[in-house]
Every structure is written in structure tokens, then in C-alpha cells.
Amino acid sequence: MRRRIQQLEFDFRQHGGKRKGAGRKPKNAEPGMPHRQRTTKKRGQPLLITVRLADGLPSLRRDRARKLVLAALSASSDRHGMRIIHYTVPGNHLHFLVEADDRECVARGMNALLSPLARALNKLWGRRGKVFPERYHEEVISTPTQAPNALRYVLQNGKKDGVVPSNSINLYSSSLAFDGWMERPSIPSIPAAPVVATVAPASTWMLTTGWRRHGLLGIRELPHTKPTGRPRANLAESRSRAASR
């Protein structure tokens, strides 16, 4: 009679489940944007996007690097359905306010902006490797209260770190192209005329009309940590100063 062959059981080591040290490792000292599904975005909602440089790279504010950044922003201000409305260059990261019809437009537009810029910066710095190693962070601007805070966060970002005088505008941003200041902006005296990247005109209700419900922006106003909410004191002051013009 044939002997029945029995399958032997092996005690395989299990690798599934939550465990210490698991998951994607951060490429910079600070963890980047988690790789989970992004929040829902409607067609008329702008996005506040932040892109960080890899640790240890030179500042983007240096003259030659800044020129490359401005050239890339101008070339990608309106491509693949994504429009860059405002920007700022803090040094080791970038902030943008963008409009786009959908997520696919944002993804294609950001790739068209960052890929050539990374290659140009690597050539300038004589290096190889990733320039923007982490996933970009985004925040959906969904209310007229968030919109002025987002504009202030981008345009007034340099004042948060004390690198821009309180009574002047940030020349490392698109502040010169912004027409929503309460006062006439004071331009710092520099040897040459300020160079500003070409930006696309706003087309969504949120960035053309909605944000103005809370009054124009003051030159001396500081940005909040996050563009969510607006203190009552700032709102009252903004309306009072706008009415006295």
C-alpha cells in the first residue's frame, strides 16, 4: 500500500503588524509629509504647498540659486492645469499658493516645476542626489477665513523670522505682484531693481473676492503659524484701517 505523504508544517517568522522601527524612514532630520491619502479638494479651493530642501544644502536665497528658483517659477506659473498665484523663498524651503482643477493637475504641475529645478540646482552646486527628498506638504484653503491667513503666511513669511523689516515687503516673495495691501508698500533699497517671478492671476473666488471679506492685508501684520483661523483683534483692526482709508 502506498504511504500517504503528509505536508510538514513550518513555523515561519511573521513580519506583519505594527512594530518598533517599522515604516518609511525620514530623509531629513525632521519627518516629512506622511504617505497617506490627501484630504479632499474641490475645484475652487486653492492649496498652500510647502516643499523642503534636503538637509545641508545651500540657501535658496543666494543670488545664483534664487535666480534659478525664480526662472523655474516663471516657467511653471501656469502649466498642466496648475497655476502658481503667490510664492515665497525662505531659504531651505518654498511656499506656494496654487490653484488647480484637480489632484492630477497638482501632481503634474509640481513635477514640471521641481524636477528641472532640482537638476539646475544640483548642477549649480556640483552635486548629485535628491534636492527635494520628501513629499510636498499641502493644506486645502476651503474658507474665506483661511484665505487671508494663507496669503499672509506666504507673503509675510520673512517677517516671522525677522529677516524682513516690519514696514517693508518681502522681496523673496511675490509681494510686489499683490494688490491687496492696505498701505503702499515700502520697498527696501537695494543696488538693482528687485526681480520677481512671473505668477498667474488668481481665478478662484477664494483668492479674488472671498479673502477680502476680512479686509485688506496690513504691511506690518505677522503670519500665523498655520493659516487656520484669524484672531478677532486682527480682524477688527483690519476693518478699522480699511474704513479709514
| CATH number of the domain that residue 213 is part of | 3.30.70.1290
Please check whether residue 116 lies inside any domain of the structure. Answer: yes
Here the cell at position 123 is: 548642477
CA distance linking residue 166 with residue 21, whole number of Å: 45
Here the cell at position 115 is: 524636477
Here the cell at position 180 is: 491687496
Least confident of 114-123, 127-136, 153-162: 153-162
Least confident of 28-32, 71-75, 142-146, 147-151: 28-32
Please check whether residue 13 lies inside any domain of the structure. Answer: no
Q: Give the 3-state secondary structure of residue 98.
A: strand
CA distance linking residue 227 with residue 164, whole number of Å: 20
CA distance linking residue 235 with residue 200, whole number of Å: 28
Q: How many CB atoms lie within 10 A of CB 112?
A: 16
User: What is the DSSP secondary structure assignment for residue 177, as one 8-state letter?
Assistant: G
Q: Which amino acid is at 40?
A: T
pLDDT band, residue 27 (cuts 50/70/90): low
CA distance linking residue 116 with residue 134, whole number of Å: 16
CA distance linking residue 202 with residue 208, whole number of Å: 6
Please check whether residue 62 lies inside any domain of the structure. Answer: yes
* Domain that includes residue 189, residue range: 47-243
Which of 41, 108, 56 lies closest to 78 in space, CA to CA?
Answer: 108
Please check whether residue 21 lies inside any domain of the structure. Answer: no
Here the cell at position 96 is: 506656494
Mean pLDDT (the chain) is 82
Task: Please say if the pLDDT value at position 155 is more than 90.
Answer: yes
pLDDT of residue 238: 43
Please check whether residue 114 lies inside any domain of the structure. Answer: yes
Q: What are phi and psi of 117, to 5 degrees?
A: -65, -40
* The total number of structural domains that make up the chain: 1
Task: Report the chain's C-alpha Rg in angstroms.
Answer: 23
Please check whether residue 27 lies inside any domain of the structure. Answer: no
pLDDT band, residue 19 (cuts 50/70/90): low
Here the cell at position 186 is: 515700502
Please check whether residue 118 lies inside any domain of the structure. Answer: yes
pLDDT of residue 180: 94
CA distance linking residue 184 with residue 16, whole number of Å: 61
- pTM for the full model? 0.76
Please check whether residue 86 lies inside any domain of the structure. Answer: yes
